[in-house]
Amino acid sequence: MSPYNPGMRSARCVLVVGSLWLGLTSDASAHLDGTITQLTTGTATDTQTTPAITGTNVVWTDSISLAGGGTNSDIYLYDLSAGGAPRNLTNTPDQQEFLDDVDGTNIVYTHTSATDLGDIVVYDLNTGTPTTIAGADTKTHFEQPAIRGRYVVYIRSNGQFDDVDGYDNALGSPFARPVTNDAAIQARPRVSGDYIVYEDYGSGNADIYGYQISAHAAPFPIATGPSNQSEPDIDGNYVVWVDSAAGVDQIFAYDLTAQVTRQLTTVASHKVQPRLSGTRVVWADDRAGNLDIYTYDLVANSEDVIVDGAGDQMLSAISGSRVVYTSNATGFEQVYVFAINTPPPVSDKPFGCDPTKTDLVDTSVSLTRTTKTPVLATRAFSPIVGKTYWVCIENGAPSGALRTSEFLFNVDTDVVLTPSDFKPAANPPHYVSSSILDDNGHGKKPLPGQKHSWSAALYGSTPTATVTISIRTTK
The residue among 65, 146, 145, 88 whose CA lies nearest residue 111 is 145
| Measured distance CA(276)–CA(279) in Å, rounded | 7
| Domains detected in the chain | 21-340 (2.120.10.30), 351-474 (2.60.120)
d(CA 154, CA 143): 6
> 233: closest CA among 264, 195, 276?
276
Instruction: Report whether 209 contacts 188 (CB < 8 A).
Output: no
Residues written for the chain: 475
In 3D, which of 159, 208, 213, 167 has the Cα closest to residue 186? Answer: 208
User: How many CB atoms are located within 10 Å of the residue 84 CB?
Assistant: 9
Using DSSP, state whether 117 is helix, strand or coil.
Answer: coil
Rounded distance, CA 320 to CA 81, Å?
Answer: 15
What's the whole-model pTM score? 0.70
Tally Cβ neighbours within 10 Å of residue 279: 18
346, β-bridge pairs? none
Beta bridge mates, 434:
391
**What string of pLDDT tens digits covers the 475 residues of the chain?**
233 232 222 222 222 222 333 443 333 344 788 999 999 999 999 999 999 999 999 999 999 999 888 899 999 999 999 988 999 999 999 999 998 899 999 999 999 999 889 999 999 999 999 999 999 999 999 999 999 999 999 999 998 899 999 999 999 999 999 999 999 999 999 999 999 999 999 999 999 999 999 998 999 999 999 999 999 999 999 999 999 988 899 999 999 999 999 999 999 999 999 999 999 999 999 999 999 999 999 999 999 999 999 999 999 999 999 999 999 999 999 999 999 998 776 777 999 999 989 999 989 999 999 988 999 999 999 888 888 999 999 999 887 889 999 999 999 888 999 999 999 888 899 999 999 987 654 456 777 778 899 999 999 876 789 999 999 999 8
d(CA 54, CA 310): 27
Q: How far apart are alpha carbons 462 and 268 in whole angstroms?
A: 33
Is the backbone peptide bond immediately before 424 cis, with ω within 30 degrees of 0?
yes
Phi, psi of 319, deg, nearest 5: -140, 110
